[in-house]
Amino acid sequence: MIKSELIEKLAAQNPHLLQKDIENIVNTILDEMSNALAEGRRIELRGFGAFSVKNRSARIGRNPRTGEKVSVSEKYIPQFKAGKEIRERLNK
């Protein structure tokens, strides 16, 4: 599902709200989640899962095309762990 499909589905379920308002709500939620992760905070949505930020240390990698050693700098990546309810729904 992509963001526009989510907005359309929410608009269909809530005909009393304007689609533009629903789009603003979805964008605000996603922006706040992105901001929290950028600040290094954890996000937990009960029954769905938890988002956190993981640190990948600097390392020496290898260019697969040439075999040359390459320095890979430290970086942060988002991590998602599914909640119990969503795991159970996926594994019925």
Give tens-digit pLDDT for 33-55.
999 999 999 999 998 999 999 99
- Residue 92 above 90 pLDDT? no
The mean pLDDT value for 4-25 works out to 96
Structure tokens at 29: 């939620």
Residues whose CB falls within 8 Å of the CB of residue 34, separated by 6 or more in sequence, listed in order: none
The mean pLDDT value for 1-30 works out to 96
Q: What is the pTM of this model?
A: 0.79
Closest of 34, 47, 44 to residue 76, by C-alpha: 34
Residues whose CB falls within 8 Å of the CB of residue 22, separated by 6 or more in sequence, listed in order: 7, 10, 11, 14
